[in-house]
Amino acid sequence: MVQLSGSMVIEIEQLDSICVLRCRGRFVSGADADYMRAKIEEVQRLKCKRVLADFREVQSIGSMGLTFIVAMYTAVVKDSGGRFVLAGAPPFVRKALDLTRLSSVVSLAADVTSALAALRAE
């Protein structure tokens, strides 16, 4: 696996009909916008209608990370009528989501298990 200069990694794995994005590292300014765009396009190519973003290993988040969350939410929910759940947000990620009011739009789950249960309950 190649680690980028922004030290952000997004691995995409398919579990049944759910795409799991395993996110780790620093989602901050200076992170590779092309890399994030490519990951969003990959999810769209896979025709994922249910997406779980696992943020347990995210070390920091800034505007670039929030932009990624909004773009992924838009691609999955607004454009495709799917479901998007962000799981395991550390306290500093949760604070950023609360400050930007994204926590009132994006579905949040305490952990991956409860996020998968929510996505499978369709």
**What domains are there in the chain, each with its CATH number?**
8-120 (3.30.750.24)
User: For the whole model, what pTM was predicted?
Assistant: 0.90
**One digit per residue, pLDDT tens: the chain, 122 residues?**
444 445 789 999 998 889 999 999 998 877 588 898 999 999 999 998 999 999 999 999 998 899 999 999 999 998 889 999 999 999 999 999 999 999 999 999 999 999 999 999 96
Mapped to the 3 state alphabet, what secondary structure does the chain carry? CCCCCCCEEEEEEEECCEEEEEEEEEECCCCCHHHHHHHHHHHHHCCCCEEEEEEEEEEEECHHHHHHHHHHHHHHHHCCCCEEEEECCCHHHHHHHHHCCHHHCCEEECCHHHHHHHHHCC
